[in-house]
Each structure stands twice: as C-alpha cells, then as structure tokens.
Amino acid sequence: MEIKAVKFRKDGFYSQPFAFGGEEGPDKFDPTIRYRGTLQNYLIDTGEEVILVDTGLPSGTPEEVPDEKSPAYTGKDISSYMEAFAALGYKPEQVTKILLTHKHIDHSGELRSFPNAKIFVSADETSADELQGLSNLEPVKFTDGAYYNFPESQKIGDGIYFIKAKGHTYGNSIVIVEKDGLFYMLHGDITYVDEALYENKVSVVFDDLPAARETLDRVREFVKNHPTVYCGTHTPQGYENLEAKRVMDLDNPVPTVLAEVDFSGAAASGKYVCSICGYVYDPAEHDGVAFEDLPDDWKCPRCKQRKEKFNKA
C-alpha cells in the first residue's frame, strides 16, 4: 500500500488568528504571524484499488491576491488538481473510491471527474449544495462501532478506516490508514496547520464549535497513544510528515518555519475568492455589484463566512 500527496497549490499562508482563534477569538492572537500554507489532497494505492481522499479545487478556480489584512491565502497554482493527479501516473477511470472528508470545494471540487468511483461521505453531509446531482454518493452512517477512542467508524478496506469527526462541518470525517505499524491520519481541516495541533487550538472555521473541540481532543488523545503521521490539506507539513514518516510528538513540536509572504501579486480582476470554500464572487454574475459595495453583514452564499474571509482574485 502506498500513500501519495496530490499537490496543487504552494506558497500560501494561514495567520495565527485564523488558525488559532476559534475559541478565544482571533483578536487574542498575532495577525503578523503567518504559518506556511499549501493545498494537497491524498491518494491511497492498495495495489488493487486507487482510493482518493478528497478531490481538490475545480479546474479554473482563480488564484487569490492577498494583502496584509488577509487572514488566509490558499497559495499559487502548481497545477490544477487533475493535472497533479495525472502527474502521479494515474487515470480517472482507475479510481474506485473517493473518501470525502467534507463538502468544501477545495476538497470536493473535482468529484465529477471520476465517473467510476463511489463517493463515500458522511450521511450528515449529503444535503450540501456542493454534492447535489451526484449519482454515485455512498452515504456513510458509521455502523462499524468505535475505532480506538473515536466512537463511530466505517471500515473501508484492510487497514483503511473512515472516522466521524464533526465540527469543522456537521459531516466532517477523517481517514486513518494503518501501514507498517504507523497510523496515517489523512484529514481535511481538523487543523489548518500543525502548530494548532501542538498548541491545542481550534480554527475560526467551524459549523459546530463544541463538536470541533471534542474532535480535536480525540485527535490529540489518539496521537498521544498511537504512532501517528498527521497529514493535513492546508500546510506543507502534511506532505512533509508523509514523506518523512514523521510521528507526531505533542510534547516536542517540530520547529515552526513561518511563511515568506510577498504581497506584490498580480493585479486584481474584480473577482473575490472565499479562502474557506473557494466560492468565487464575480460582479458580472451579480448585476455588476462590486464586492466592496456588498453590505458589511453579507456572507458567502456557500459556506456562510463573512466578507473578511475573501481575497481578491
């Protein structure tokens, strides 16, 4: 069995208030501290099946143009998700299963590109707008009982488990792969950066804060008691941990390398991109109303985040 990262964006960042501020409030943290950000999802090759954990942004999603006030920035394109997938040597028709951690478009963006795959997703997530019109959804009800300290799980295959981990969204899940005595935790947004796992902080992006706290507590307990390689979506630490087979030690954090940020990006197009779910606000599709002219209480129509979570595109 092999686990591979599908890397499609680099050189992004997540500010400390964004990554840490879910419970105490973002104003308690330093906005000038920006942790490294990327975008990657994961592929599991069992030798008999090709299984994806999430499917990236849709092709054509514009890059963002962040500024000093941006709380988060998903980074510059390395390639599209589908190009990154192909670069690993696979074809869409080979994929038999997709394990969807949650609905947000940077995780679900190319689901329709894999016609032969069954899409496993929490039954609590199937009503999401992002998943409508898909005929190959397999709603998961987590009927296989507890997986160690996680109360609800579904076994997907030998050594591959889908775990209920709500909080970030109501149907959020994680994937754990057992391989050579290690536990590879492939997750969407339990944390955006590993520093938040070490510091025991919930991000500002959640549908259910008490559940997000409970999930993070369970993840930390699991990591303390099992040799875990922690593979996230939004930080290069995710694929660095994978490639080094680095086991997380919560008492001995890996030294932080902060993002090198360049705010002299390309000219803005007038469009804005939600840094949480990837929704693109295009004035041409909204009667010419500029993003800046939207009311202060306007929220993303897809993930309901406020205007400050958007970056220029």
Q: Identify the pLDDT of residue 266.
A: 63
pLDDT higher than 80, residue 261: yes
Work out the mean pLDDT of the chain and round it to a whole number.
95
CA torsion, ordered 231, 47, 81, 198, to nearest 10 deg: 0
Does residue 41 or residue 309 have the better pLDDT? 41
What average pLDDT does this structure show over 60-68? 91
Tell how many helices (H) and how many strands (E) occur in the chain.
Answer: 6, 16
Q: Are 55 and 105 in contact (CB under 8 A)?
A: no
Q: Are 19 and 192 in contact (CB under 8 A)?
A: yes
Q: Are 1 and 180 in contact (CB under 8 A)?
A: no
> pLDDT band at 264, cuts 50/70/90?
confident
The residue count for the chain = 313
Q: How far apart are CA 185 and CA 109, in angstroms?
A: 21
Q: Identify the pLDDT of residue 223.
A: 98
Stretch among 63-67, 91-95, 173-177 having the lowest mean pLDDT: 63-67
**pLDDT over 90, % of the chain:** 87
Candidates 55, 77, 58, 66; CA nearest to 18 is: 66
Domains of the chain, CATH where assigned:
2-244 (3.60.15.10), 272-312 (2.20.28.10)
What average pLDDT does this structure show over 95-115? 96
pLDDT higher than 70, residue 267: no
- For residue 271, how far is the Cα from the chain centroid? 23
DSSP helix/strand/coil, 156 = strand
Stated as kind and residue range, the H or E segment containing 45 is strand 34-45
Q: Identify the pLDDT of residue 302.
A: 84
> pLDDT band at 265, cuts 50/70/90?
low
pLDDT digits (tens, 9 = 90+) for 204-233: 999 999 999 999 999 999 999 999 999 999
Q: How far apart are CA 1 and CA 103, in angstroms?
A: 27
Q: Are 177 and 183 in contact (CB under 8 A)?
A: yes
Stretch among 43-52, 155-164, 239-248, 275-284 having the lowest mean pLDDT: 275-284
Q: Are 297 and 305 in contact (CB under 8 A)?
A: no
pLDDT digits (tens, 9 = 90+) for 159-184: 999 999 999 999 999 999 999 999 99
> From residue 17, how far is each of 23, 29, 143, 272 by CA, in Å?
11, 5, 37, 21
Which residue type is seen at 79?
A: S
What average pLDDT does this structure show over 273-302? 90
Q: Identify the pLDDT of residue 170.
A: 97
Does residue 78 or residue 67 have the better pLDDT? 78
pTM for the complete prediction? Answer: 0.90
